[in-house]
Amino acid sequence: MKITNASKLPDIIEDWANYDAYQRGNADYTTTELIKPPYMLDLERRHKDDIEVDVAELTWRLSGQAKHYIFQIIAQQNPERYIAEQRYTMAVAGVTISGMGDLIDLEEPETLYDYKETKVWKEILGDSEEWTQQANINAFLARNIANIDIKRLVNIVILKDWAVRSAFRDHSYPQNPIRAWPLELWDQNKTLQFIQQRVALHKSIGNGAPPAICSPKERWAKPSRWAVMKQGRKSAVKLFDSGQEATLWIAEQSDQKILSLAERSAEDTRCLFYCDVRKICPHGREVIQNAK
């Protein structure tokens, strides 16, 4: 990956971005790679020297990277209790996989922690599927390689766009910018089956058939919606799947004179903002072009 610096940030930020402390080991797949969409991972691997990411886009990744050092220092001070950033590698499903949780707390119940920075919408939607998959594979490795019987999976989640004003006004909004987010713990069999399925999916790419692009779910696709807006208010009063439904609803409201309708276009959010290969992937390029 080439790091660019379009906004001419100081050298120290560029050095920070180029400092790659991440060691993936020699495994065929890391946990992170295993849960990625196969089409995306294939593009990443084939174009690893062509991918360009601007240092400014890496802000949150760099911030997350820094927090990992805190875990390491805490573990060094209390090695009887904590293990930080320990990578475990194992042969499974005909390949080698490696994974590393951020921190293991050996005190009962043994807990595997991961540090995540995300947005408020993730907390509101309660979407933790990929986190659960990642944590369970890492727990599987810790159990089988280091004989640590992980009994709890918890992500320490920082909501980077959290706003104190919204928390004050709206009690359904997350009330704190940090939370411990428990994840479902799978048994060994379920995790093994999941690993086998993911390996088979990744191996199927490049086996002759043209690769299918990432699924709508993998692209974090959002369908188009219709928003009812109210004069003097920034957020939508109500969202609808069709313009007709929204129009009917407005017609029933007593304040309909100050209501209006706005279409929110469908969006492949991951392709537009978050995928490292979006400028190489034909679908990603199209999504970016259409959004301009």
Contact residues toward ligand SF4 (CB under 6 A) are 37, 39-40, 43, 213-214, 219, 268, 270-271, 275, 277-278, 281, 283-284
Q: Using CA atoms, how far apart are residues 187 and 192, in angstroms rounded to an integer? A: 9
C-alpha distances in Å from residue 162, one per residue of 90, 156, 171, 174: 39, 15, 13, 8
- Which CB sits closer to ligand SF4, 116 or 270? 270
- Which CB sits closer to ligand SF4, 24 or 285? 285
- Which CB sits closer to ligand SF4, 103 or 275? 275
Q: Using CA atoms, how far apart are residues 156 and 178, in angstroms rounded to an integer? A: 7
Concatenated DSSP letters of 206-274: TSSSPPPPPPTTTTTEE--EEEEEETT-SS-SEEESSHHHHHHHHHT-TTGGGEEEEEE--EEHIIIII
Least distance from C-beta 1 to ligand SF4, angstroms? 14
Return the closest-CA partner of residue 22 out of 63, 80, 68: 68
- Which CB sits closer to ligand SF4, 105 or 219? 219
Least distance from C-beta 53 to ligand SF4, angstroms? 13
Least distance from C-beta 48 to ligand SF4, angstroms? 14
Q: Using CA atoms, how far apart are residues 45 and 255, in angstroms rounded to an integer? A: 55
Q: Using CA atoms, how far apart are residues 164 and 166, in angstroms rounded to an integer? A: 6
Using Cβ positions, the residue closest to ligand SF4 within the complex turns out to be: 284
Return the closest-CA partner of residue 282 out of 41, 2, 43: 43
Concatenated DSSP letters of 35-47: HS-HHHHHHHHHT
Least distance from C-beta 166 to ligand SF4, angstroms? 29
Least distance from C-beta 86 to ligand SF4, angstroms? 30
- Which CB sits closer to ligand SF4, 120 or 205? 205
Least distance from C-beta 272 to ligand SF4, angstroms? 8
Displacement of CA 158 from its chain's centroid (Å): 13
- Which CB sits closer to ligand SF4, 87 or 122? 122
